[in-house]
Amino acid sequence: MHVHESDLYMYEQDSDFDSTTGMLSGSVKRINHMVSSGKGNRKLMCYLIFGLVVLFLVLYYIISWFRTS
């Protein structure tokens, strides 16, 4: 009985990894398409990266401020 449960668990894990791999490869394809499609999309990508860096820094500052108070 224990071996059957382990096999079922491994099958579910394999299915989860397959779905994650598909999602990640789709995301990489979309990013590659965005980067290679032209100057306007590169500008958008720069704004997106800049915004994420600023968001990270703001969140880091807020969290560190709350920890010290």
CB burial readout 46-65, b (16+ within 10 A) else e: eeeeeeeeeeeeeeeeeeee
Asked whether residue 19 carries a pLDDT value surpassing 60, the answer given is yes
Mean per-residue pLDDT for 20-49? 77
The dihedral formed by the CA atoms of 37, 39, 41 and 47, expressed in degrees to the nearest 10: 150
pLDDT tens-digit readout, 1-13: 566 677 677 767 7
Task: Return d(Cα 34, Cα 31) in angstroms, integer.
Answer: 5
Domain limits at 62? 2-68
- Number of structural domains (the chain) is 1
pLDDT at residue 57, as a whole number: 96
Average pLDDT, the chain: 79
Task: Check residues 40 and 32 and name the one with the higher pLDDT.
Answer: 32
pLDDT at residue 50, as a whole number: 94
